[in-house]
């Protein structure tokens, strides 16, 4: 399993957002548990494809990579209608 004890791994966050969006293994056509890495990836693809989310990024804190943006979090798509949540970030959907 790809998971952390505190539930903060990227896949755990994405699966939680899929669950909150009403997606279940049954609703996306997953018929059996994964038995290898290819099936694991395929099942996650079925669960997550088309799921709209907001990724927020910041400059990397590692001195060698401060010129690169790193994903700092993932939020549900309804975040776009809550302007205070990401007020210090530039919204890609608003920039031209």
pLDDT beyond 90 at 85: no
In a domain, 92, yes or no: no
- 96 within a domain of the structure (yes/no): no
Q: With respect to residue 49, please indicate whether it lies within any of the assigned structural domains.
A: yes
pLDDT at 41 over 70: yes
The strand ranges marked E within the chain are: 53-59, 69-76
pTM of the model: 0.74
Report d(CA 56, CA 25) in Å as an integer.
27
User: Does residue 89 lie within any of the structural domains?
Assistant: no
Mean pLDDT calculated for residue range 66-95: 84
Q: What's the length of the chain?
A: 96
Q: Is residue 91 part of a domain?
A: no
Distance CA 36, CA 56 (A): 31
Average pLDDT, integer, range 46-62: 90
Secondary structure letter of residue 89 according to DSSP: S
Q: What are 83's two structure tokens?
A: 């302007």
Residue 76 phi, psi (nearest 5): -65, 160
45 domain residue, yes or no: yes
pLDDT of residue 66: 85
Does the pLDDT value for residue 96 go beyond 80? no
Does residue 32 form part of some domain? yes
Domain total in the chain = 1
pLDDT exceeds cutoff 80 at 28: yes
CA distance 53 to 25: 19
pLDDT at 1: 52
What is the domain extent for residue 54? 10-81
Is 23 contained in some domain?
yes
Average pLDDT on 29-54 reads 94
Looking at the chain, the whole-number percentage of residues with pLDDT higher than 90 is: 45
């Amino acid at each position: 399993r790809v998971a952390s004890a505190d539930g903060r791994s990227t896949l755990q966050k994405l699966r939680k957002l899929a669950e909150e969006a009403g997606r279940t293994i049954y609703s996306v056509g997953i018929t059996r548990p994964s038995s290898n890495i290819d099936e694991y990836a395929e099942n996650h693809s079925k669960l997550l494809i088309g799921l709209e989310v907001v990724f927020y990024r910041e400059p990397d804190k590692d001195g060698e990579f401060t010129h690169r943006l790193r994903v700092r979090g993932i939020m549900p798509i309804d975040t776009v209608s809550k302007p205070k949540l990401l007020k210090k970030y530039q919204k890609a959907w608003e920039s031209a």
